């Protein structure tokens, strides 16, 4: 059976799935050293320019996912592109070039069915020089990854609160809790972020915040009402409360237990039975 590339409707059906997942899973784990190597390996020429345009045509497989992965890259490396935070160690110009290599790898892996072997190889070259092998399909969310995933998976329930009574109850409980211990939680969040920087997980931090915001920002499963966070104060507070908890779980192994507990206690209602670190 021949499959038209335009007929690929879901990522699971993509013939180059393994490479796509490998590239996506690596994004949050690109190190400062990798950025330098990716930047050094990237260049442009007419052949590459043409291959890139071909990869990014509107008919390219899952092109909307490709563009959303580009957005994710900009979000994960926002600090590196701005370059003003004290923990940023890479020149922003280097980061810009490195991210061109990253975007070429994303585009090439998705567009593999449309590209010739030479075009695919040329677009992937800087990436493959740094990451020669395709490894696992999931980003590493740390020793407590099960808990991180469980909490992320629970967040879309809140988006259905207009038609799900238990979702509404959870929502109201979170709004109430968001007013308790705010300054202590803000301090704890700063400690957690420092732990993420020290343990080289600040880009994973950005990744899980993005995933969490996406889960909370889904439309209601019944009436399709879209949720926009930050539109009102309560939703912004709940968003912060939930994202801080996800991030605390991400770096729990590098935080005092009391700090983790402070940030995760308010969201225990979302994941009943989840154990706090002892
Ligand atoms: Zn609804």
CA of 223 to the centre of ligand 1 (A): 4
Residue 2 has pLDDT above 50, yes or no: no
The contacts of residue 178 (CB under 8 Å, 6+ apart) are 234, 237, 238, 240, 241, 266
CA of 260 to the centre of ligand 1 (A): 33
CA of 225 to the centre of ligand 1 (A): 6
**Bridge partner residues of 226 (DSSP):** 219
CA of 270 to the centre of ligand 1 (A): 19
CA of 219 to the centre of ligand 1 (A): 8
CA of 154 to the centre of ligand 1 (A): 17
CA of 234 to the centre of ligand 1 (A): 18
Q: How far apart are CA 209 and CA 189, in angstroms?
A: 13
pLDDT at residue number 230:
65
For 215-237, write each residue's pLDDT tens digit: 998 988 899 888 877 678 899 99
CA of 12 to the centre of ligand 1 (A): 28
> Apex CA 247: angle with CA 245 and CA 252, to 5°?
90
The contacts of residue 181 (CB under 8 Å, 6+ apart) are 262
Residue 197 has pLDDT above 50, yes or no: yes
CA of 77 to the centre of ligand 1 (A): 34
Residue 275 has pLDDT above 70, yes or no: no
CA-closest candidate to residue 202, choices 110, 78, 93: 78
pLDDT at residue number 274:
58
CA of 63 to the centre of ligand 1 (A): 29
CA of 171 to the centre of ligand 1 (A): 14
Average pLDDT over residues 228-255: 91
For 70-113, write each residue's pLDDT tens digit: 999 999 999 999 999 999 999 999 999 999 999 999 999 999 99
CA of 220 to the centre of ligand 1 (A): 5
pLDDT at residue number 272:
73
Average pLDDT over residues 11-28: 94
CA of 218 to the centre of ligand 1 (A): 11
Secondary structure, 3-state, the chain: CCCCHHHCCCHHHCCCHHHHHHHHHHHHHCCHHHHHHHHHHCCCCHHHHHHHHHHCCCCCCCHHHHHHHHHHHHHHCHHHHHCCCCCCCCCHHHHHHHHHHHHHHHHHHHCCCCCCHHHHHHHHHHHHHHCCCCCCCCCCCCCCHHHHHHHHHHCHHHHCCCCCHHHHHHHHHHHHHHCCCHHHHHHHHHHHHHHHHHCCCHHHHHHHHHHHHHHHCCECCCCCCECCCCCCHHHHHHHHHHHHHHHHHHCHHHCCHHHHHHHHHHHHHHCCCCCCCC
Average pLDDT over residues 151-166: 92
CA of 175 to the centre of ligand 1 (A): 19
pLDDT at residue number 278:
42
pLDDT at residue number 3:
46
For 32-81, write each residue's pLDDT tens digit: 999 999 999 999 999 999 999 999 999 899 999 999 999 999 999 999 99
CA 247 → CA 20, 54, 110, 139, 270, distances in Å?
Answer: 26, 38, 29, 14, 15
Query: What is the percentage of the chain residues whose pLDDT exceeds 90?
Result: 80
Which residues have C-beta under 5 Å from ligand 1, the single-atom ion? 162-163, 220, 222-223, 225
Model-level pTM?
0.88
pLDDT at residue number 48:
98
Q: How far apart are CA 184 and CA 276, in angstroms?
A: 18
Which is more confidently placed, 150 or 8? 150
Residue 143 has pLDDT above 60, yes or no: yes
């Amino acid at each position: 059976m021949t499959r038209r590339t335009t007929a690929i409707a879901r990522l699971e059906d993509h013939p180059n799935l393994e490479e796509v997942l490998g590239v996506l899973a690596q994004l949050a784990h690109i190190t400062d050293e990798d950025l330098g190597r990716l930047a050094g390996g990237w260049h442009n020429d007419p052949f590459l320019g043409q291959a890139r345009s071909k990869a990014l045509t509107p008919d390219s497989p899952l092109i909307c996912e490709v563009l959303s992965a580009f957005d994710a890259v900009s979000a994960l490396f926002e600090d590196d592109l701005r370059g003003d935070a004290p923990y940023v160690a890479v020149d922003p110009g280097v980061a810009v070039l490195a991210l061109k290599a990253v975007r070429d790898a994303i585009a090439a892996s998705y567009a593999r069915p449309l590209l010739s072997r030479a075009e695919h190889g040329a677009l992937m070259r800087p990436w493959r020089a740094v990451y020669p092998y395709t490894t696992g399909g999931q980003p590493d969310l740390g020793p407590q990854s099960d808990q991180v995933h469980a909490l992320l998976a629970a967040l879309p329930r809140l988006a259905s609160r207009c038609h799900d009574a238990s979702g509404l109850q959870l929502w109201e409980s979170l709004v109430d809790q968001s007013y308790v211990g705010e300054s202590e939680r803000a301090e704890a969040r700063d400690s957690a972020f420092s732990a993420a920087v020290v343990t080289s997980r600040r880009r994973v931090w950005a990744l899980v915040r993005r995933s969490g915001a996406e889960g909370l920002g889904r439309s209601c499963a019944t009436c399709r009402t879209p949720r926009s966070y930050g539109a009102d104060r309560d939703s912004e507070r709940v968003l912060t409360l939930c994202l801080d908890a996800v991030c605390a779980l991400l770096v729990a192994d590098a935080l005092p237990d009391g700090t983790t507990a402070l940030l995760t206690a308010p969201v225990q209602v979302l994941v009943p039975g989840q154990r706090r670190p002892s």
